[in-house]
């Protein structure tokens, strides 16, 4: 009897409870009517949320009766918030179609908080290169699209070589912008340089690229210092089909690509991708000087070649979880610019294997990266080696053979070890775990990361007898509190990062945002750190001409150069993103940065003219620390920390929609700095005088770009003008600057269009260029596109040790079929 009474009580309670609640059910599709699996449906006011299943279906149950703002979102599409009434014991049917996000305020991004967020909710400046932007850009080099983003310093060293910098202090070896791809750190192990053309992903598999301005170290760790570039690829569950693409252009450019993605069932999907690109760089020779005589680079080959392929398998054990396995490979041959001259990169391969688990509350990720090259060499050093043998009577054949490893010293009649070959067999292991959840307006993120760098140059460019292993660990948290009724949001983030060589560093982040009718206002503080790369610490190039500064140096006059410390930046920013009218959208920010212990480009610390030699590396004599050295060094390039420098600026982005099909965009950026010339820690060349050029920002003060964008029916096109104010660039031996007196003694120290030190100075960088691209959908599946870079053939030089960039044009045909697609 008691059991029956208990059952009746439970049954009655369930009925009463059901009468006080209801459900919301429906299907979410894209603008083509296709279901969207893993789309998000949420009611923030009561902390309710689900994701759609394979067929786009969702069900929100046990919702108290009443009216709610329900948000429907999917990465890369326009989010929608709709008022929905819930009745007792009833199911409210709500079907939603999400369109491409032409409205910049409805964009959903994932990088800033490591979770999907409406872009106006993100307390940071985020630029987005969308799948549509990539689809409608005919060039194989999507790095060019970065030139169209606000706050980004875009540079180009040739047909293939493009790069970006954010908020100052660029160099020819820039490692201060962290690059990630699908939650993988995409940088070279020893140098910390972004993969760039070494990336293993292909153009047609890229869903979007999100560029964050300013430090993002709390969630991403060291070296998310000036900014972060995140590439996100397509999910085969939502991007089925087979794409064939072929493109041609001037400079003998040819590219062929294939991507195939298929959902086998609602549990399994896979994708494959392949790309082959070849071409020829602009004909340019960077003069190599031996004494005052210039020589052409030995072994220069203008041809470039890139091959990429990869595959991933996706498994969904439940409606809200996914397991992803990925393998990718790239092999590249091209010319690369460095602080010490140009390298001929030959068959440099990157391989990556990754296993990742993603769910509503948990994220687990582990991956292994390995790098391989055996024949890459520095053209300038090899040229100097070759000349030393030829000038001393050796045969052409012997001079060519020995130029890879030795330089002849005519004073003593002996060869010196001056290796020009770079070998690399480095590896890296990464692992990360993260938990996130929310209770009402309170959101929590907890995570931990581990990275083990295993650098190995086989003694060719590192002091690495037996390899160099360095690990770093980090734990982080991010707390958010959102008051939906008032629009106020508060964020606190903190990270403790422990580096094997530098101990623990604390990286905090604070933000306040206020949502208003037409936009969102934000105030943020963030800290970033840049840990010296293994090359910075343990480099040994050209037989001791370049030595890493992991131990410090002593000079013959007793003076010391301290070992490298961690560089830090404290960044304060205010910003607003919103609407000024129905057709005009604005994204504006102003920032102030305080940098300490800035890691310099390569600098010579010896002064042979004044008998100032490098005698010790750390506590060891120079000749004992550096293999092959026979005594103190009269010329040594290394890296140093500077004192303090303040930088500041603002970025403005405007978008005006004349019609739904036609809009114009304007981006403007200003950058300035304040260097304390009384702080002798800023004395880069140790001459007792602090000069502006000793802490080179290598960034223009002003940049402006204007774009016209049209997309209607089957035609699309963009006309884009970009002006970069002329500016000086100093990086290692490289100089691109106007004629000027640096120290104010009445005598010019830098000369434009003349030899300066070990290189030729062609004058300042920057100028005006106009780019254009257009295309036509012959059918829904077949498109033809064309792209022209530098439409009017402006004779601008955009980077040091690089050619004048002429007009580049390309034509691309693309065909997509979906006969394997699940019906």
pLDDT at 430 (0 to 100): 97
Structure tokens at 47: 């902390």
Does domain 2-100 match CATH 1.25.40.20? no
Annotate 351-416 with DSSP letters as a single string. EEEEEEEEESSEEEEEEEEEEEEEEEEEHHHHHHHHHHHHTTT--HHHHHHHTTTEEEETTTTEEE
Are the C-beta atoms of 652 and 636 separated by less than 8 Å? Answer: no
Residue 742 pLDDT more than 50? yes
Are the C-beta atoms of 349 and 328 separated by less than 8 Å? Answer: no
pLDDT at 57 (0 to 100): 85
Q: For 799-812, what is each residue's pLDDT tens digit?
A: 999 999 999 999 99
**β-pair partners for 750:** 740
What does each C-alpha distance from 206 to 30, 42, 230, 339 come to in angstroms? 18, 27, 11, 31
pTM of the entire predicted model: 0.87
Structure tokens at 596: 């300490």
Are the C-beta atoms of 198 and 245 separated by less than 8 Å? Answer: no
Confidence of residue 32 (pLDDT cuts 50, 70, 90): low
pLDDT at 11 (0 to 100): 43
Q: For 600-634, what is each residue's pLDDT tens digit?
A: 877 888 888 888 899 999 999 988 888 888 889 88
Task: Provide the CA 262 distance to its chain's centre, in angstroms.
Answer: 29
At 624, give phi and psi (nearest 5°): -85, -30
H helical segments located in 81-139: 131-135
pLDDT at 19 (0 to 100): 57
What does each C-alpha distance from 138 to 594, 718, 811 come to in angstroms? 40, 12, 6
Q: What is the mean pLDDT of residues 286-299?
A: 92
Q: What is the mean pLDDT of residues 27-37?
A: 76
Let me know the angle formed at the C-alpha of 37 by 489 and 435, rounded to the nearest 5 degrees: 45
DSSP state of 187: B
Question: Mapping DSSP to helix (H, G, I), strand (E, B) and coil, where does residue 314 land?
Answer: strand
Q: Which residues contact 13 (CB under 8 A, 6 or more apart)?
A: none
End-to-end CA separation in angstroms for the chain:
54
Structure tokens at 82: 């709709």
User: Which option is the CATH number for 121-531+566-602+639-817: 2.40.170.20, 3.90.45.10, 1.10.730.10, 2.60.120.260?
Assistant: 2.40.170.20
pLDDT at 9 (0 to 100): 46
**β-pair partners for 508:** 494
**β-pair partners for 655:** 585, 665
Q: What is the mean pLDDT of residues 242-251?
A: 96
Q: How many helices (H) and strands (E) does the chain have?
A: 7, 58
Q: Which residues contact 401 (CB under 8 A, 6 or more apart)?
A: none
* Domain spans in the chain, listed from the N-terminal domain onward: 2-100, 121-531+566-602+639-817
Confidence of residue 767 (pLDDT cuts 50, 70, 90): very high
Phi-psi region of 606 (alpha: psi -120 to 50; beta: other; left: phi over 0): beta
Confidence of residue 8 (pLDDT cuts 50, 70, 90): very low
**β-pair partners for 400:** none
pLDDT at 181 (0 to 100): 95
Question: Mapping DSSP to helix (H, G, I), strand (E, B) and coil, where does residue 256 land?
Answer: strand
DSSP state of 612: B
Percent of all residues in the chain with a pLDDT value above 90, rounded to a whole number = 53
Confidence of residue 545 (pLDDT cuts 50, 70, 90): confident
pLDDT at 104 (0 to 100): 62
At 314, give phi and psi (nearest 5°): -115, 130
Closest CA to 423 of 318, 345, 523, 362: 345
Q: What integer best gives the mean pLDDT of the chain? A: 88
Q: Which stretches of 580-701 are assigned E, i.e. beta strand?
A: 584-596, 603-604, 614-617, 620-621, 637-638, 644-657, 662-675
Are the C-beta atoms of 402 and 382 separated by less than 8 Å? Answer: no
778-794 burial code (b ≥16 CB/10 A, e <16): eeeeebebbbbbbbeee
Q: What is the dihedral of CA 394, 399, 403, 405, to 10 degrees?
A: -60
Number of C-beta neighbours around residue 613 at 10 A? 20
Let me know the angle formed at the C-alpha of 502 by 694 and 467, rounded to the nearest 5 degrees: 95
Beta strand 21-30 with 96-98 is parallel
pLDDT at 102 (0 to 100): 53
Closest CA to 271 of 247, 238, 246: 238
Structure tokens at 451: 């990275």
Q: For 371-420, what is each residue's pLDDT tens digit?
A: 999 999 999 999 999 999 999 999 999 999 999 999 998 888 889 888 89
């Amino acid at each position: 009897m008691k059991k029956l009474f208990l059952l009746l009580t439970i049954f009655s309670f369930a009925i009463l409870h059901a009468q006080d609640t209801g459900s919301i059910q429906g299907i979410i599709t894209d603008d083509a009517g296709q279901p969207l699996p893993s789309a998000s449906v949420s009611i923030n006011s009561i902390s309710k949320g689900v994701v759609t299943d394979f067929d786009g279906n969702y069900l929100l149950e046990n919702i108290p009766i009443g009216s709610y703002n329900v948000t429907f979102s999917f990465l890369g599409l326009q989010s929608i918030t709709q008022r929905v009434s819930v009745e007792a014991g009833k199911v409210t049917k709500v079907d939603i179609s999400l369109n491409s996000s032409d409205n910049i305020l409805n964009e959903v991004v994932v990088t800033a908080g490591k979770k999907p967020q409406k872009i106006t909710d993100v307390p940071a400046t985020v630029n987005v290169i969308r799948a549509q932007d990539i689809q409608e850009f005919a060039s194989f080099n999507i790095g060019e699209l970065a030139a169209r983003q606000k706050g980004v310093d875009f540079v180009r060293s040739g047909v293939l070589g493009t790069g970006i910098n954010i908020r100052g202090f660029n160099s020819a070896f820039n490692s201060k912008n962290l690059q990630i791809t699908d939650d993988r750190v995409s940088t070279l192990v020893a140098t910390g340089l972004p993969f760039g053309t070494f990336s293993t992903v292909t153009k047609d598999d890229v869903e979007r690229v999100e560029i964050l301005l300013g430090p993002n170290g709390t969630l991403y760790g060291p070296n998310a210092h000036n900014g972060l570039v995140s590439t996100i690829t397509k999910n085969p569950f939502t991007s089925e089909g087979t794409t064939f693409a072929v493109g041609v252009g001037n400079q003998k450019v040819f590219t062929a690509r294939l991507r195939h993605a298929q959902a086998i069932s609602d549990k399994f999907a896979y994708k494959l991708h392949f790309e082959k690109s070849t071409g020829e760089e602009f004909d340019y020779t960077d003069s190599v000087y031996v004494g005052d005589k210039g020589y052409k680079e030995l072994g220069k080959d203008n041809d470039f070649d890139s091959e990429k392929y990869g595959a991933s398998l996706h498994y969904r054990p439940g409606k809200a979880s996914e397991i992803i396995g990925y393998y990718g490979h790239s092999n590249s041959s091209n010319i690369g610019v460095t602080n010490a001259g140009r390298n001929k990169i030959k068959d440099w391969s990157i391989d990556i294997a990754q296993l990742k688990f993603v769910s509503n509350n948990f994220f687990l990720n582990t991956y292994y990266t390995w790098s391989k090259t055996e024949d890459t060499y520095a053209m300038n050093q090899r040229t100097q080696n070759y000349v030393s043998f030829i000038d001393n009577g050796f045969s052409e054949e012997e001079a060519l053979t020995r130029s890879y490893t030795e330089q002849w010293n005519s004073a003593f009649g002996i060869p010196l070890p001056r290796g020009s070959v770079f070998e690399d067999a480095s590896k890296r292991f990464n692992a990360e775990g993260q938990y996130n959840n929310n209770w009402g307006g309170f959101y929590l993120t907890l995570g931990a990361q581990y990275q083990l760098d295993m650098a190995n140059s086989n003694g060719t460019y590192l002091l690495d007898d037996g390899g160099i292993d360095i690990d770093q660990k980090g734990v982080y948290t991010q707390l958010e509190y959102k008051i939906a009724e008032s629009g106020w949001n508060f964020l606190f983030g903190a990270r403790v990062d422990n580096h094997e060589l530098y101990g623990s560093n604390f990286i905090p982040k604070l933000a306040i945002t206020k949502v208003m009718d037409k936009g969102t206002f934000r105030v943020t503080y963030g800290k970033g750190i840049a840990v010296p790369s293994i090359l910075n610490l343990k480099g040994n190039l050209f037989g001791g001409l370049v030595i890493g500064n992991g131990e410090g140096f002593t000079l013959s006059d007793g003076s010391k150069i301290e070992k490298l410390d961690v560089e830090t930046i404290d960044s304060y920013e205010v910003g607003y993103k919103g609407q000024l009218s129905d057709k005009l959208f604005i994204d504006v920010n102003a920032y102030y940065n305080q940098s300490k212990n800035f890691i310099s480009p390569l600098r010579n610390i010896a002064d042979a003219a004044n008998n100032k030699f490098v005698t010790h590396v750390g506590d060891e004599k120079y000749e004992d620390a550096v293999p092959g050295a026979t005594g103190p060094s009269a010329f040594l390039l290394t890296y140093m920390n500077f004192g303090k420098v303040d930088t500041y600026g603002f970025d403005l982005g405007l978008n005006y929609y004349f019609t739904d099909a036609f809009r114009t965009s304007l981006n403007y950026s200003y950058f300035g700095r304040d260097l304390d010339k009384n702080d002798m820690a800023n004395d880069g060349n140790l001459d007792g005088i602090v000069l502006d050029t000793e802490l080179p920002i290598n960034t223009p003060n002003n940049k402006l770009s204007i774009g016209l964008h049209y997309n209607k029916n089957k035609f699309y096109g963009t006309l884009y003008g970009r002006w970069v104010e002329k500016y000086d660039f100093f990086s290692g031996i490289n100089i691109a600057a106007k004629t000027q007196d640096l120290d104010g003694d009445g005598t010019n120290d830098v000369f434009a269009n003349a030899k300066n030190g070990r290189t030729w100075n062609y004058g300042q960088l920057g100028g005006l260029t106009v780019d254009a691209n257009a295309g036509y959908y012959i059918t829904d599946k077949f498109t033809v596109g064309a792209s022209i870079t530098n439409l009017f053939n402006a004779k601008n030089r955009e980077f040091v040790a690089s050619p004048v960039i002429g007009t580049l044009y390309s034509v691309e045909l693309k065909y997509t079929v979906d006969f394997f697609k699940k019906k």
